[in-house]
Amino acid sequence: MDASRSDVLILGGGVIGLASAYYLLKSGATVRVLEQGTPGCGSSHGNCGTITPSHAAPLAMPGMLGVALRSMLRADAPLYINPRFDGPRLRWLLGFARHCNWRDFERAARARSAILQRSRRLLAELVRDERFDCEFREEGELYVYRTASALQSDEKHHARVLDRLGVEVQRLNGDEVQAREPALKPGVAGGLFHPGDARLRPDRYAAELARRVIELGGVIESGARVERFGTDAGRIGQVHTTRGAFRGERVVLALGAWSPLTARLLDLRLPMQPGKGYSLTYTRPAQAPRHALVLREAAVCVTTWESGFRLGSTMEFSGYAEGLNRTRLDALRRGAAESLHVPEGPQLQEEWWGWRPMSVDEVPIIGPSTRWSNLLLATAHGMLGISMSAATGELVAALLHGGTPPIDPAPYAPARFGA
């Protein structure tokens, strides 16, 4: 038997690729994961680790384009677009602008909610059944507001959307928020509590997925960056990497923000851009928040684990520009300091940035390619890769093995972009 051949080759060893490998292995397939770095080293590593059915609503809505354009003038804005000209980024922004209407908003919210709710249930089962050591806690997430205007806006465009989607959200006044979360400074106008949300330590979750994939007989090739494809008669025959050439009956492209770059080698145009996020990880402070928090005006997410404490978020569209932006990190610190008695832990452990894979309609791209008969895409999860990972892996396994998909795959199909 050819040692370089597998039933399924998965390109990408982040949580989407690893979860797909897990569910494919459970279905009986042989699987090889080709990862350009090490498993979980991309945006799977440094995000805030929240599992959020509450994040069903997309960014794109009427008025958001104006917010985005004004952000070009403020390098510390929660949503920042670098004003430097970039053709692919400009095309993406024009496409994003076309989706800033209520019809597309509702369509995206329904699609995102279906996979988020399914994944939330599956993740709890996965962590329990496989005994994953990743600090998983089912304690909800609290949105905190210091102004009545921000609370009223989110009541309209966030809470009511969740009501329609059947996702529980509890409205709290300022005193109720302060009583629930003593780590907050006084001056809270109110809050929205999402009891169905959860949290975990994302680097440990990725490591546990990788461990289980190997235990189930999967192979993970680290340092295997895709360089080119060998194709014939509408099929991918070989994937040539820095670690050699590999073959698979089916190929899954799960490269996160790198997906559109690799897809170009197959003459596919994926309408995606990297949305750069940042985080600061500390040792746990003496007065740590009890819940995962979203400090809404500052757009700062706060996650507490037994092993540490993380401030994260912001969305920066600067193309594939690498490196830390101190202005963005300072904005995280400043936003936390406005709301928390103890905004930083005793020891700073890591300053991090990563690229989130943002699709133009903010719905993931999951399903068979219309161009290549043995290619399936599983990418474009935006800020929700951890949250959507389990349901994406389950859906990939069902689509490749001809099973009945547990959720309707139509909203995620690459065919909507001719891919």
Q: May I ask the CATH architecture of the domain 5-417?
A: 3-Layer(bba) Sandwich (3.50)
Q: What is the pLDDT of residue 114?
A: 98
- CA–CA dist 147, 381 (Å, integer): 31
Here the tokens at position 297 are: 């005006």
Say what the pLDDT of residue 1 is.
41
Say how far apart CA 83 and CA 78 lie, in whole Å.
15
Give the chain's residues under pLDDT 50. Answer: 1
Residue 318's Cβ-count burial label (10 Å; 0-12, 13-18, 19+) is buried
Per-residue DSSP letters for 44-80?
HHHS--EE-GGG-S-S--TTHHHHHHHGGG-TTSSEE
Query: What pLDDT does 403 receive?
Result: 81
Please give the pLDDT value at position 46: 87
Confidence at residue 73, expressed as pLDDT on a 0 to 100 scale:
60
Alpha carbon separation from 134 to 77, 298, 306 (Å, rounded):
32, 28, 10
pLDDT at position 394, please? 98
For residues 184-211, one letter each, b for 16 or more C-beta atoms within 10 angstroms of the residue's C-beta and e for the rest, the string is beeebbbbbbbebbbbbbbbbbbbbbbb
Q: Which residues contact 345 (CB under 8 A, 6 or more apart)?
A: 282, 283, 284, 285, 288, 308, 309
pTM of the model: 0.95
Contact 219, 247 (CB under 8 A): no
Cβ-proximal residues to 179 (8 Å cutoff; 6+ apart), any chain: none
